[in-house]
Amino acid sequence: MSDGVEGLLRELSPQVLAALVRKFRDFPVCEDALQEALLAAAVQWPVDGVPERPRGWLVTVASRRAVDQIRSERARRDREAADDHEDTSVPGPGEDRPGDRDDTLELLFLCCHPALTPVSQVALTLRAVGGLTTAEVAGAFLVPEATMGVRISRAKQRIRAAGIVAGTPFADRLGAVLHVLYLIFNEGYTASSGPHLQRPDLATEAIRLTRTIHRTLPDDGEVAGLLALMLLTDARRPARTDANGGLIPLAEQDRSLWDHARIHEGTDLVTNAMRHAPLGPYQLQAAIASLHVEAPTDWPQIRFLYRVLCRIAPSPMASLNHAIAVAMTDGPAAGLTMLSALAADPRLSTHHRLASARAHLHELAGDPVSARHGYLRAATLTTSLPERHYLRARAARLTA
Residues 116-154 have pLDDT tens digits of 887 788 888 888 887 778 888 887 776 788 999 899 988
Mean pLDDT of 278-293: 97
Residues 232-283 have pLDDT tens digits of 999 999 999 999 999 999 999 999 999 999 999 999 999 999 999 999 999 9
Query: Using CA atoms, how far apart are residues 224 and 216, in angstroms rounded to an integer?
Result: 11
Query: Using CA atoms, how far apart are residues 214 and 223, in angstroms rounded to an integer?
Result: 6
Query: Using CA atoms, how far apart are residues 323 and 349, in angstroms rounded to an integer?
Result: 15
Whether the predicted pLDDT of 95 surpasses 70: no
Query: Using CA atoms, how far apart are residues 331 and 319, in angstroms rounded to an integer?
Result: 17
DSSP 306-368: HHHHHHHS--HHHHHHHHHHHHHHH-HHHHHHHHHHHTT-TTTTT-HHHHHHHHHHHHHTT-H
Mean pLDDT of 358-373: 97
Residues 49-88 have pLDDT tens digits of 999 999 999 999 999 988 888 887 754 455 444 554 444 4
Peptide bond into 278 cis (omega under 30): no
Q: What is the pLDDT of residue 282?
A: 98
Question: Which residue from 314, 290, 313 is spatially nearest to 302, judged by alpha carbons?
Answer: 290
Query: Using CA atoms, how far apart are residues 60 and 55, in angstroms rounded to an integer?
Result: 9
Q: What is the pLDDT of residue 386?
A: 96
Which of residues 35 and 225 earns the better pLDDT score? 225
Q: If 0-12 CB within 10 Å is exposed, 13-18 middle and 19+ buried, where does residue 56 land?
A: buried
Mean pLDDT of 29-47: 88
Residues 310-331 have pLDDT tens digits of 999 999 999 999 999 999 999 9
141 close to 123: Cβ distance less than 8 angstroms: yes
Domain boundaries, the chain: 1-100
Q: What is the pLDDT of residue 291?
A: 97
How much helix, strand and coil, in percent to the nearest 5, is found in the chain? 70, 0, 25
Question: Which residue from 306, 307, 207, 295 is spatially nearest to 255, judged by alpha carbons?
Answer: 295
* Rounded alpha-carbon distances, angstroms, from residue 236 to 116, 135, 249: 35, 27, 10
Percentage of the chain beyond pLDDT 90 is: 54
Mean pLDDT of 35-42: 89
Whether the predicted pLDDT of 286 surpasses 90: yes
**103 pLDDT tier (thresholds 50, 70, 90):** confident
> How many other CB atoms are found less than 10 A from the CB of residue 78?
11
- The most confident of the ranges 25-29, 93-97, 212-216 is 212-216
